[in-house]
A and B are shown apart, each in its own frame.
Chain A
Amino acid sequence: MLEELLIFTRGGLILWSSCRALGGAALKGSPIDALIRSCLLEERSADASFSQDTYALKWTFNNDLGLVFVAVYQRMLHLLYVDDLLAAVRKEFSQIYDPKRTFYDDAFNEVFRQLHLEAEARSEEMKKNKQVTGSRPTKVTTKTNRGDTQGSGGGRKKGDSGKDDSDGDSGKEHTLPNGNSKMQENSLKDNSHARSVVVKGKENGDPNDGAFDVNKLQKMRNKGNKKNEVASNVAKNTSKANTKKNLKKNRVWDDTPDDKKKLDFTDPADERGDEVIDQVVVKQGESMMDKDDVVSSDSDEEEEDGEENSGASQKKKGWFSSMFKSIAGNNVLEKSDIQPALKALKDRLMTKNVAEEIAEKLCESVAASLEGKKLGSFTRISSTVQTAMEEALLRILTPRRSIDILRDVHAAKERGKPYVIVFVGVNGVGKSTNLAKVAYWLLQHNLSVSLAACDTFRSGAVEQLRTHARRLQIPIFEKGYEKDPAVVAKEAIQEATRNKSDVVLVDTAGRMQDNEPLMRALSKLINLNSPDLVLFVGEALVGNDAVDQLTKFNQKLADLSAVPTTRLIDGILLTKFDTIDDKVGAALSMVYISGAPVMFVGCGQSYTDLKKLNVKSIVKTLLK
């Protein structure tokens, strides 16, 4: 059963509700607000459906009038007619809509009841047809024909009662064989959509990808092995020769301390001298987090130039037709009109290293928000699409939660607890390096910072962190290798509480998103210590893999946690931002996928090279 059908303006005023008008139980919770907040405002409006608690929601827009139509039904039921009904309601309601009017109960109740009944009847027919075809798959063609005639009979009867619907019905009947299969497809889609998104992500061609990769890897390995054998043979030979020579030169049989020194090639200042040198805390000036961006104005100008150029080239293409259209104005945007402009935009986004999947989704969402809108006079379609996309990008990149870490730190300080930040990410993205940069930035704001070396996996990780700690003159908590990182983190936090540290930065081992045991360990670490901030460190170089990394990290954190309240990724630290020129797409991909804001941007090798993301300049660069 349909629980609720709601019509409201984009401004948020409810115009008509089937519950209220026709009587019915009110919805539990507020699934519609949830839909708007976590789906429509996140540029996911091109998705087919949304599920919240036990409800599934479907929606459609009338962009010209600024209306939204939402249908709510129980997730367990796969209502086939909802799309159909929404389209019909949209058509009927748009005719009687008047911006000045806010009350439609009298006019629309009857219409809706009629539409609902019709849609239900139609879906019943579809079901019957489907059952017939489904039960005997060998005789599909004949059966569909028969079903066709039945359907037409039913349709006629209804057509008589429903007057102006006969046209639509007969049209449908002619295309019923097609329609049948389509409906089946739809229902299949519904089934898959009705499951939660998490499951969907898992299914998405995952095993195939894995298999492909493994095969490839094995092949590569085989090849590599052969090469390696050859290479290693050569190497052995040369090394043998070397050792022989060495042996001959340095053959001193008795163990004297002097020779030991000769063999020790390490820097003499390393062991003890290092400390002496680095006792002085490194001062490399102000962290770039606190500096103004001077670049943005330059990029503005550049951007304008670029836009003019592209505009000129587009003008040449269809100058006359676009002029004519723009003068005529008032033409309603069809999907086919927007498509070429969107295609160009999508390509542009993809050259900026935005993951393909995300560029696609964004374009669909923009198309959904533009379709049916009236084009103002003297505007080109491409510019309309461009501004719509710009707005969408701005909306996505604007952080949803506060990214003022210092304030949160102060709040934690008042509670007498250290503020715990856990750095997670795949291998080699620069977790430890940027952890040190964050530590440096926090130190500049007179906060006491301590580090926790929970990378007990990679050799040298603890030493790396110890070096940073020594240079920054901050305490580090370490327990060596082969310890459970979750326990190490817990002890580190206890230690920090005793020492009255304000912030604890927890370094974790890098892990691939598919590595189950390591992900489980990470999930344990996070659930055990419930940090204030889980920071995902990702490189800006990453392209399509950004989607995979973040979805899997989030998913694994959710799946593998033993606690009901799961912690997901709260923020993103984007590293190696200085290496990518204008290919800033990773920022967009990551934010879109996770919904978490970019909190820091690492842009260089020194401690000061940590910045905040300039959302406006990113949007401009993306659309350049």
Chain B
Amino acid sequence: MDEWVRQAEVWVGQAERWIRQQPPEQVYVAVAVVAVTVLLLVAVSCLKSSKANTIVLSGLSGSGKTILFYQLRDGSTHQGTVTSMEQNNDTFVLHSELERRGKVKPVHVVDVPGHARLKPKLDEVLPQAAGIVYVVDAQDFLSTMHAAAEYLYDILTKATVVKKRVPVLIFCNKTDKVTAHSKEFIKKQLEKELNKLRESRNAISSADITDEVKLGNPGEAFNFSQCQNKVTVTEGAGLTGNVSAVEEFIREYVKA
């Protein structure tokens, strides 16, 4: 043991002498390089850990997700949108908070395309979600109700969503239109539809598509308060910029 210690001391002495022989600039550079790499690694790991500040915008095609995305980012709808083929994905400070003093933490928002063919894309982003905004077309609600409920059911029964208790905001979009339905009506209809879905899906058993978690309490009519994760229903209009409900939701779950 003593021998080893002595040997080590000898080596340390040799190393010290060797370092003293080197020109000092080189030593400084070496130290700087090591420091920078360590800092970089720390920074990268920090970034990775903060991945859970992602807000996912989901909903059927044509419900107004992309408009909502640009309202949040730029406060403008630009020149309108068409059906998305890929997700919009950006980290930004909310437009409404740009003027606010002090440090505002940017939010990572992902707008997932709603076309049924692109449904698998949603599974890729859900594990990182800190909050899910489910956009519903309040104007054209009745004709899209079945599909909307089914999509919402898929989200609410995802294991990644339920286990982490990711909050869900159901955003009734397009309420600036006269013919739009009220959020109470939409909530009631969605609950009714989800209840039906739950019955038919339970009958099919676990082999089917994506039923990872059972929804609500069996034996009772379903309502959103039975969900393990918090589900709230709000309304607004992406086109006119009335998206304060979504902004509040984001601020609630992504701490500034």
- State the A residues within 8 Å of B (CB): 6, 8, 10-17, 20, 30, 32-33, 36-37, 40-42, 66, 68, 102-103, 289-293, 394-396, 398-402, 404, 406-407, 409-411, 445-446, 612
Q: Is the CB–CB distance between B205 and A290 below 8 Å?
A: yes
Chain B interface size range: 35 or more
Q: Is the CB–CB distance between A394 and B120 below 8 Å?
A: yes
The docked-state distance in angstroms from the alpha carbon of A411 to that of B149 is 14
Q: Is the CB–CB distance between B207 and A400 below 8 Å?
A: no
Q: Which residues of B contact A396 (CB under 8 A)?
A: 117
Residue of B nearest to A43 (CB): B117
Q: Is the CB–CB distance between A398 and B120 below 8 Å?
A: yes
Knowing A37-B61, A402-B146, A402-B147 touch, does A292 contact B207 (C-beta < 8 A)? yes
Q: Is the CB–CB distance between B200 and A33 below 8 Å?
A: no
* Segment among B74-82, B125-133, B241-249 that sits at the interface with chain A: B74-82
- Within 8 Å by CB of B78, from A103, A395, A612, lies A103
- Within 8 Å by CB of B115, from A41, A291, A404, A410, lies A41
Q: Which residues of B contact A293 (CB under 8 A)?
A: 207
Could you list 30 A-B pairs, sorted by A, with CB under 8 Å?
A11-B66, A12-B82, A12-B85, A12-B113, A13-B66, A13-B78, A14-B82, A16-B79, A17-B79, A17-B80, A30-B82, A32-B83, A36-B82, A41-B85, A41-B117, A41-B118, A42-B117, A102-B78, A289-B207, A290-B205, A290-B207, A292-B206, A395-B120, A404-B209, A406-B200, A407-B200, A407-B201, A411-B196, A445-B204, A446-B203
The docked-state distance in angstroms from the alpha carbon of A290 to that of B206 is 7
Knowing A12-B85, A13-B66, A411-B196 touch, does A406 contact B79 (C-beta < 8 A)? no
Q: Is the CB–CB distance between B85 and A10 below 8 Å?
A: yes
| B176 adjacent to chain A (CB < 8 Å) | no
| B184 adjacent to chain A (CB < 8 Å) | no
Q: Is the CB–CB distance between A66 and B86 below 8 Å?
A: yes
- CB A107 to nearest CB in B, in angstroms, measures 14
- CB A25 to nearest CB in B, in angstroms, measures 16
Known: A17-B80, A42-B117, A102-B74. 4 other contacts (CB 8 A): A41-B115, A396-B117, A401-B116, A407-B150
| B84 adjacent to chain A (CB < 8 Å) | yes
Q: Which residues of A contact B197 (CB under 8 A)?
A: 404, 407
Q: Which residues of B contact A446 (CB under 8 A)?
A: 203
Q: Which residues of A contact B66 (CB under 8 A)?
A: 11-13
- CB B98 to nearest CB in A, in angstroms, measures 15
The docked-state distance in angstroms from the alpha carbon of A446 to that of B204 is 11
- CB A36 to nearest CB in B, in angstroms, measures 4
Q: Which residues of B contact A37 (CB under 8 A)?
A: 61, 83, 115
Knowing A290-B205, A395-B117, A445-B203 touch, does A404 contact B82 (C-beta < 8 A)? no
- CB A53 to nearest CB in B, in angstroms, measures 16
| B88 adjacent to chain A (CB < 8 Å) | yes
Cβ contacts B79-109/A at 8 Å (1 or 0 each)? 1111111111000000000000000000000
Q: Which residues of B contact A404 (CB under 8 A)?
A: 150, 197, 200-201, 204, 208-209
- CB A623 to nearest CB in B, in angstroms, measures 16
Residue of A nearest to B70 (CB): A13
Q: Which residues of B contact A10 (CB under 8 A)?
A: 84-86
The docked-state distance in angstroms from the alpha carbon of A36 to that of B84 is 8
- CB B65 to nearest CB in A, in angstroms, measures 9
- CB B123 to nearest CB in A, in angstroms, measures 11
Q: Which residues of A contact B51 (CB under 8 A)?
A: none
Q: Which residues of B contact A40 (CB under 8 A)?
A: 85
- CB B13 to nearest CB in A, in angstroms, measures 43
The docked-state distance in angstroms from the alpha carbon of A6 to that of B111 is 22
| B3 adjacent to chain A (CB < 8 Å) | no
Q: Which residues of A contact B117 (CB under 8 A)?
A: 41-42, 395-396, 398, 400
The docked-state distance in angstroms from the alpha carbon of A290 to that of B211 is 12
Residue of A nearest to B84 (CB): A12
Residue of B nearest to A12 (CB): B84
- CB B70 to nearest CB in A, in angstroms, measures 7
Residue of A nearest to B66 (CB): A12
Q: Which residues of A contact B86 (CB under 8 A)?
A: 10-11, 66
**Top 5 A-B residue pairs of the complex, sorted by shortest distance between their CB atoms:** A12-B84, A407-B200, A11-B88, A10-B86, A36-B83
Cβ contacts B125-164/A at 8 Å (1 or 0 each)? 0000000000000000000001100100000000000000
Q: Which residues of B contact A291 (CB under 8 A)?
A: 207
Q: Is the CB–CB distance between A13 and B81 below 8 Å?
A: yes
Most buried by A among B80, B86, B88, B117: B117
Knowing A289-B207, A398-B116, A407-B200 touch, does A15 contact B146 (C-beta < 8 A)? no
- CB B99 to nearest CB in A, in angstroms, measures 20
Q: Which residues of A contact B119 (CB under 8 A)?
A: 398
| B199 adjacent to chain A (CB < 8 Å) | yes
The docked-state distance in angstroms from the alpha carbon of A8 to that of B84 is 10
Q: Is the CB–CB distance between B196 and A15 below 8 Å?
A: no
Residue of A nearest to B206 (CB): A292
- CB A477 to nearest CB in B, in angstroms, measures 26
List B41-70 residues whose CB lies under 8 Å from chain A. 61-62, 66, 70
The docked-state distance in angstroms from the alpha carbon of A545 to that of B206 is 36
The docked-state distance in angstroms from the alpha carbon of A40 to that of B113 is 14
Q: Which residues of B contact A401 (CB under 8 A)?
A: 116
The docked-state distance in angstroms from the alpha carbon of A11 to that of B82 is 9
Q: Which residues of B contact A36 (CB under 8 A)?
A: 82-83, 85
Q: Which residues of A contact B120 (CB under 8 A)?
A: 394-395, 398
Q: Which residues of B contact A66 (CB under 8 A)?
A: 86
The docked-state distance in angstroms from the alpha carbon of A292 to that of B196 is 23
The docked-state distance in angstroms from the alpha carbon of A409 to that of B135 is 27
Knowing A399-B116, A404-B201, A406-B200 touch, does A33 contact B82 (C-beta < 8 A)? yes
The docked-state distance in angstroms from the alpha carbon of A549 to that of B94 is 54
Q: Is the CB–CB distance between B208 and A612 below 8 Å?
A: yes
- CB B17 to nearest CB in A, in angstroms, measures 40
The docked-state distance in angstroms from the alpha carbon of A226 to that of B200 is 60
Q: Which residues of B contact A400 (CB under 8 A)?
A: 116-117
Residue of B nearest to A414 (CB): B196
Q: Is the CB–CB distance between A410 and B146 below 8 Å?
A: no
Q: Which residues of B contact A17 (CB under 8 A)?
A: 79-80
- CB B73 to nearest CB in A, in angstroms, measures 10
The docked-state distance in angstroms from the alpha carbon of A445 to that of B203 is 7
- CB A286 to nearest CB in B, in angstroms, measures 8
Q: Is the CB–CB distance between B88 and A13 below 8 Å?
A: yes
Q: Is the CB–CB distance between A410 and B118 below 8 Å?
A: no
Residue of B nearest to A402 (CB): B150
Q: Which residues of B contact A30 (CB under 8 A)?
A: 82
The docked-state distance in angstroms from the alpha carbon of A103 to that of B209 is 42
Q: Which residues of B contact A411 (CB under 8 A)?
A: 146, 196
The docked-state distance in angstroms from the alpha carbon of A40 to that of B115 is 12
Q: Is the CB–CB distance between B83 and A20 below 8 Å?
A: no
- Within 8 Å by CB of A395, from B84, B88, B118, B206, lies B118
Residue of B nearest to A104 (CB): B79
- Within 8 Å by CB of A410, from B61, B87, B196, B207, lies B196
The docked-state distance in angstroms from the alpha carbon of A42 to that of B196 is 31
Q: Is the CB–CB distance between B203 and A406 below 8 Å?
A: yes
The docked-state distance in angstroms from the alpha carbon of A292 to that of B115 is 27
Q: Is the CB–CB distance between A12 and B88 below 8 Å?
A: yes
- CB B67 to nearest CB in A, in angstroms, measures 9
Q: Which residues of A contact B204 (CB under 8 A)?
A: 289-290, 404, 406, 445
The docked-state distance in angstroms from the alpha carbon of A132 to that of B81 is 45
Q: Is the CB–CB distance between A8 and B82 below 8 Å?
A: yes
- CB B113 to nearest CB in A, in angstroms, measures 7
Q: Which residues of A contact B146 (CB under 8 A)?
A: 402, 411
Knowing A37-B115, A398-B116, A404-B150 touch, does A410 contact B80 (C-beta < 8 A)? no
